[in-house]
Amino acid sequence: QVQLVESGGGLVQPGGSLRLSCAASGSAFVFYTMRWYRQGLGKEREWIATIDSGGGTNYDDSVKGRFTISRDNAKNTVYLQMNSLKPEDTAVYYCNAVRFVNNDYWGQGTQVTVSS
Protein backbone atom coordinates (compact mmCIF):
# COMPACT_ATOMS: atom_id res chain seq x y z
CA GLN A 1 0.00 0.00 0.00
CA VAL A 2 1.22 3.47 -0.95
CA GLN A 3 -0.04 6.79 0.38
CA LEU A 4 0.59 9.95 -1.67
CA VAL A 5 0.36 13.53 -0.35
CA GLU A 6 0.62 16.51 -2.70
CA SER A 7 1.73 19.95 -1.55
CA GLY A 8 2.95 23.27 -2.95
CA GLY A 9 -0.21 24.53 -4.61
CA GLY A 10 -1.52 28.05 -4.27
CA LEU A 11 -2.31 31.31 -6.07
CA VAL A 12 0.17 32.60 -8.63
CA GLN A 13 0.03 35.31 -11.31
CA PRO A 14 0.30 34.51 -15.03
CA GLY A 15 3.92 34.01 -16.02
CA GLY A 16 4.86 32.94 -12.52
CA SER A 17 6.30 29.67 -11.24
CA LEU A 18 5.32 27.06 -8.71
CA ARG A 19 6.82 23.75 -7.55
CA LEU A 20 4.56 20.91 -6.50
CA SER A 21 5.72 18.00 -4.36
CA CYS A 22 4.27 14.52 -3.93
CA ALA A 23 5.52 12.63 -0.89
CA ALA A 24 5.05 8.86 -0.92
CA SER A 25 4.87 6.55 2.06
CA GLY A 26 5.39 2.82 1.72
CA SER A 27 8.05 0.58 0.28
CA ALA A 28 9.52 0.16 -3.20
CA PHE A 29 9.12 3.79 -4.34
CA VAL A 30 12.13 3.35 -6.62
CA PHE A 31 10.19 0.80 -8.71
CA TYR A 32 7.11 2.98 -9.29
CA THR A 33 6.28 4.95 -12.38
CA MET A 34 5.05 8.35 -11.19
CA ARG A 35 2.63 10.65 -13.00
CA TRP A 36 1.04 14.04 -12.56
CA TYR A 37 -2.55 14.70 -13.61
CA ARG A 38 -4.76 17.76 -13.32
CA GLN A 39 -8.48 18.41 -13.34
CA GLY A 40 -10.04 21.79 -14.01
CA LEU A 41 -13.49 22.67 -12.69
CA GLY A 42 -16.12 20.88 -14.74
CA LYS A 43 -13.50 19.02 -16.78
CA GLU A 44 -12.17 15.48 -16.89
CA ARG A 45 -8.88 14.58 -15.27
CA GLU A 46 -6.03 14.81 -17.78
CA TRP A 47 -2.51 13.39 -17.76
CA ILE A 48 0.30 15.93 -18.00
CA ALA A 49 3.63 14.25 -17.11
CA THR A 50 5.31 10.89 -16.39
CA ILE A 51 8.63 9.83 -14.93
CA ASP A 52 9.50 6.13 -14.96
CA SER A 53 11.71 4.11 -12.62
CA GLY A 54 14.74 4.79 -14.81
CA GLY A 55 14.19 8.55 -14.85
CA GLY A 56 12.74 8.75 -18.35
CA THR A 57 10.13 11.48 -18.79
CA ASN A 58 7.17 12.26 -21.03
CA TYR A 59 4.93 15.33 -21.20
CA ASP A 60 1.64 16.34 -22.68
CA ASP A 61 2.00 18.98 -25.37
CA SER A 62 0.07 21.47 -23.25
CA VAL A 63 2.90 21.64 -20.69
CA LYS A 64 5.97 20.56 -22.69
CA GLY A 65 8.76 23.11 -22.37
CA ARG A 66 7.16 24.77 -19.34
CA PHE A 67 6.83 21.96 -16.77
CA THR A 68 9.52 19.57 -15.52
CA ILE A 69 8.86 16.33 -13.62
CA SER A 70 11.61 14.89 -11.43
CA ARG A 71 12.04 12.42 -8.59
CA ASP A 72 14.25 12.01 -5.55
CA ASN A 73 14.17 8.33 -4.61
CA ALA A 74 16.10 8.96 -1.39
CA LYS A 75 13.24 11.21 -0.24
CA ASN A 76 10.40 9.16 -1.76
CA THR A 77 9.25 12.32 -3.51
CA VAL A 78 8.27 13.37 -7.02
CA TYR A 79 8.22 17.02 -8.08
CA LEU A 80 6.55 19.12 -10.73
CA GLN A 81 8.30 22.40 -11.51
CA MET A 82 5.83 24.69 -13.29
CA ASN A 83 7.10 27.77 -15.11
CA SER A 84 5.43 30.34 -17.36
CA LEU A 85 2.07 29.55 -15.82
CA LYS A 86 -1.11 30.43 -17.69
CA PRO A 87 -4.70 30.86 -16.47
CA GLU A 88 -5.62 27.62 -18.26
CA ASP A 89 -3.22 25.79 -15.92
CA THR A 90 -5.69 26.42 -13.09
CA ALA A 91 -6.74 23.01 -11.75
CA VAL A 92 -6.42 20.53 -8.94
CA TYR A 93 -3.16 18.66 -9.47
CA TYR A 94 -2.95 14.97 -8.55
CA CYS A 95 -0.02 12.61 -8.09
CA ASN A 96 -0.30 8.99 -9.30
CA ALA A 97 1.89 5.94 -8.68
CA VAL A 98 1.92 2.65 -10.59
CA ARG A 99 4.09 -0.43 -10.17
CA PHE A 100 1.89 -3.13 -11.66
CA VAL A 101 -0.72 -2.55 -14.34
CA ASN A 102 -4.24 -1.84 -13.00
CA ASN A 103 -2.84 -1.14 -9.53
CA ASP A 104 -2.86 2.65 -9.12
CA TYR A 105 -2.47 4.93 -6.12
CA TRP A 106 -3.68 8.55 -5.99
CA GLY A 107 -3.10 11.53 -3.76
CA GLN A 108 -5.80 13.94 -2.54
CA GLY A 109 -4.71 16.74 -4.86
CA THR A 110 -3.48 20.30 -4.45
CA GLN A 111 -5.15 23.41 -5.90
CA VAL A 112 -3.24 25.61 -8.33
CA THR A 113 -4.85 28.90 -9.32
CA VAL A 114 -3.27 31.16 -11.95
CA SER A 115 -4.91 34.58 -11.96
CA SER A 116 -4.04 38.26 -12.09
pLDDT averaged per 10 residues, the chain (length 116): 94 98 92 97 97 97 98 96 98 96 94 97
Q: What is the pLDDT of residue 102?
A: 87
Classified as helix, coil or strand, 89 is helix
Q: What is the largest CA-CA distance in the chain?
A: 42
Q: What is the pLDDT of residue 86?
A: 98
Q: What is the pLDDT of residue 114?
A: 98
- Using the Cα atoms of residue 4, residue 7, residue 21 and residue 34 in order, give the sign of their dihedral: positive
Q: What is the pLDDT of residue 97?
A: 97
Q: Burial, 96: exposed, middle or buried (Cβ in 10 Å; 0-12, 13-18, 19+)?
A: buried
